[in-house]
Amino acid sequence: MVTEDIKEDIKEKAEEQRGRVEEYKEKGKEMGRQVQEKAREAMEGLRLEAPPESVGRAMPPGLLNWLTLGSIFGSITLYFMGRKQDAIFIGLWPPTLQAVNSWLHRRD
C-alpha cells in the first residue's frame, strides 16, 4: 500500500538523519579537542612576571591598602549623598588596587 511505502521511506530517512547527527556530534567533539589543544599550546609560554624590585620600592609601603580603604569609604559616602553611579564606579576600584598590590609584592 502507498501509506506503508511512505512510512518505510520516512523511517529510512529518519535513520539516515540520525546517522548524520551522530557524525556531526563526533566532528564537533574532535574540533573541540583540537581547539583546547591549541589553546593549551598558546598559553604555555604566557606567564606574568613579577615586576622589577625598583617598582615596589618606589611606592610607600601600604599605599595601595590606604587607597583601597579610601575608595571604599569614598564609594559609601557618594552612595549616601545620592550619587549612586559615581559610588558604583569608585566601588569597583578596590579589587583592582588589591590585585596590583598583590602583583607588586609577589615573590616567585
More confident: 16 or 51? 16
Q: Which of 10-14, 50-54, 84-88 has the lowest mean pLDDT?
A: 50-54
pTM of the model: 0.50
Asked if 87 and 60 sit in the same domain, the reply is yes
Regarding whether 65 and 39 lie in a shared domain, the answer is no
Distance CA 93, CA 108 (A): 26
Identify the residue with better confidence: 18 or 80. Answer: 80
Question: What's the total number of domains in the chain?
Answer: 2
What does the pLDDT average to over 22-46? 86
Question: Does residue 60 sit in the same domain as residue 41?
Answer: no
Average per-residue pLDDT in the chain? Answer: 85
12, 32, 47 — which closes off a domain?
A: 47
pLDDT per residue as tens digits for the range 58-72: 777 788 999 999 999
Domain membership of residue 75 as a residue range:
53-104
Q: Which long-range contacts (CB under 8 A, 24 or more apart) does 57-65 make?
A: 59/104, 64/97, 64/98, 64/100, 64/101, 64/104, 65/101
3-class SS string, 37-71: HHHHHHHHCCCCCCCCHHHHHHCCCCHHHHHHHHH
Query: Does one domain contain both 39 and 73?
Result: no
